């Protein structure tokens, strides 16, 4: 996407009420090819600079599991690092985040990058994710990371049934006393379950956003900002 297109999209999202703009240069969809830190930075560096220039007050998150990318994007004006690997794919990430002193999202996923989307359908996912966060939170605290956000990793290395298990039991993560981020927007668990396409999955996304907020989610990572904000507003009256 060209920088001009990014600016148009960012402006639309901010106008519709987005609190954070999440920028990423690498696809993590099943079958996507991993790229190097240098290539990732080449893709997103000018985009971040353009967003900072046009929307100086915007809060920018960068989606990366490379510590070198994290260092550089914070220099460019990013405020938060969103790591889908939860620190598992780069041994330097925790220390880097601690030195940068920025909010850090850790997501649950398989520890082997090449098996990111492999699933174990025979087990309950809830104790697996709880164990991951117990260990990860302790490790990040030991490294000196002060601002941690947890993401159960909806759609990553999990079956649809396990994804629904996470949403239904999201309140159990309150014991970690960390903000919870959820990324369910238009994912395959929704559209495959309903027998529709991703383009038709807005209504299903809204249902799961509602369930997630009522069960304790603090942050929604979305495609459709206006509709997600309506969920947030209405749920605030229910809680």
Q: What is the DSSP letter of 26?
A: S
88/197 Cα distance (integer angstroms):
32
From 29, 75, 187, 192, active-site residue = 187
> 92 phi and psi, to 5 degrees?
-95, -5
**Has 221 been annotated as catalytic?**
yes
The count of other CB atoms within 10 Å of the CB of residue 27 is 11
From 12, 75, 135, 221, active-site residue = 221
Q: What is the DSSP letter of 57?
A: T
Are 193 and 214 in contact, with CB atoms under 8 Å apart?
no
Are 220 and 182 in contact, with CB atoms under 8 Å apart?
yes
Are 48 and 62 in contact, with CB atoms under 8 Å apart?
yes
> 25 phi and psi, to 5 degrees?
-115, 0
Report the catalytic residues: 187, 221
């Amino acid at each position: 996407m060209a920088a001009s297109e990014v600016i148009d999209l960012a402006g639309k999202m901010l106008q519709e009420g987005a609190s954070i703009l999440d920028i990423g240069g690498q696809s993590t969809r099943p079958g996507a090819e991993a790229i190097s830190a240098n290539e990732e930075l080449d893709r997103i560096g000018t985009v971040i600079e353009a967003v900072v220039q046009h929307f100086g007050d915007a809060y920018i998150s960068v989606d990366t599991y490379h510590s070198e990318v994290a260092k550089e994007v914070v220099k460019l004006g990013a405020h938060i690092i969103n790591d889908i690997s939860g620190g598992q794919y780069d041994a330097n990430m925790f220390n880097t985040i601690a030195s940068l002193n920025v909010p850090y999202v850790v997501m649950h996923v398989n520890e082997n990058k090449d098996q990111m989307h492999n699933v174990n359908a025979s087990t309950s996912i809830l104790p697996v994710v709880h164990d991951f966060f117990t260990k990860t939170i302790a490790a990040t605290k030991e490294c000196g990371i002060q601002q941690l956000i947890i993401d159960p990793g909806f759609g990553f290395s999990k079956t649809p049934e396990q994804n629904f298990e996470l949403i239904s039991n999201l309140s159990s993560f309150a014991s970690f006393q960390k903000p919870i981020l959820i990324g369910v927007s238009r994912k395959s668990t929704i559209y495959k379950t309903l027998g529709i396409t991703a383009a038709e999955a807005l209504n299903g996304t809204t249902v799961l956003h509602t369930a997630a907020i009522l069960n304790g989610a603090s942050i929604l990572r979305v495609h459709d900002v206006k509709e997600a904000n309506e969920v947030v507003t209405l749920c605030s009256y229910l809680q």
